[in-house]
Amino acid sequence: MTLLTALPASLPALLPAALATEIPSPSQHTWYLGIFPLRAYALAILAGIVIAVWMTARRWKARGGDPDDVLEITFWAVPFGIVGGRIYHVLSSPDRYFGDNFSGGGDPVSALYVWEGGLGIWGAVAFGAVGAWIGCRRQGVRLSSFADAVAPGLLVAQAVGRLGNWFNQELYGGPTELPWGLHIDAEYLVANPATGVAYPEGTLFHPTFLYELLWNLVMAGVLLFLDRRFKLGHGRVFWAYVLLYTLGRVWIEMLRIDDAELVLGLRLNVWTSILLGLAALVVSIVLARRFPTREESVRLRPEDDEPAAPAAEPEPDPGIEGTGKAAAEPEEVKTAAAEESDSDTSART
């Protein structure tokens, strides 16, 4: 009884200690298989792609498409997406590669080192869409239908890909005293944007990788629910993906403290997310009014979905039929004549 009465009084003192935790950062981000490096960032991207392809194939089949189409389209979309993502990252964070204000410093060659991290999602989506368009044309399917099928998988792939940022100890947010603050090793600490001095060891930061990971997974679930509930089509799922992702990206991006290009005091990615989010909202409204229901076929030519009609039986040739009748008549005449001859013979007998 004494323990039970004393416990509530001690809870206020115990609770902060119980919650005074932190998220550790991985101590290693690269492993070696012989002489070949296995980088966590690359593995996270690859795992995300595999999951997205699997999800898309299932959704594509449910919409009446051939799952083989997904692999063919992925063959085009993924390389384009990686190139576009890297280009966007380099252009939106150029100081590391070309020096301050393109002064000529930096290390331009490292712009090619994709495996070290740094893929901008909007460049990946834009260039990936070009690759997907090529693949869709070759497979004879609608790009809008494929975009709807792939949208939830994109969010899951992005969520998994953020684990690469965790392993690389990069793209984290500002300092925090929250119990889920992220520990960053000394060699990966960035400078305080206000003072230009590196943060002291032991400082905990907002785990923006985790925020975006959780946001993307929840929004993927929202997309799946909306698609199942309202039978969205004609690209509406994809534009809903853009809208939902940008809503999260704006506030998560504003927490980050890594180097970035600023436009009117805001990071370039914030402006990009705002503009794309507004565009996605407008397009979603227009599509909802024009296409309230899902398209009947995912193919560019819907007649390709219809089974071939059975071959019609050939019409009988009138000439052959007439010849048969004409040939049959003499036989009947001969039979009648023979019967008449037999009757005459019997009568004479």
pLDDT tens string 147-196? 999 999 999 999 999 999 999 999 999 999 999 999 999 999 999 988 88
Range in 189-193, 220-224, 333-337 the model is least confident about: 333-337
What's the length of the chain?
349
pLDDT at 215 over 90: yes
What percent of the chain clears pLDDT 70, i.e. is strictly above it? 79
The answer on pLDDT for 201 being more than 50 is: yes
Cβ atoms 88, 122 nearer than 8 A: yes
Alpha carbon distances (Å) from 144 to 42, 73, 224, 287, 289: 29, 13, 16, 11, 16
pLDDT category, 303, cuts 50, 70, 90? Answer: low
Amino acid 94 reads: P
Higher pLDDT, 147 or 104: 147
Lowest mean pLDDT among 123-127, 291-295, 324-328: 324-328
Tokens found for residue 137? 């044309």
Give 99 or 319, the one with higher predicted confidence.
Answer: 99
34 pLDDT tier (thresholds 50, 70, 90): very high
The rounded percent of the chain whose pLDDT value lies above 90 is: 66
Strand partners of residue 182 = 23, 205
What mean pLDDT, rounded, does the chain reach? 85
Tokens 């629910």 sit at which residue? 225
> What are the structure tokens assigned to 17, written together?
């200690």
Give the Cα separation of 73 and 131 in Å (integer). 8
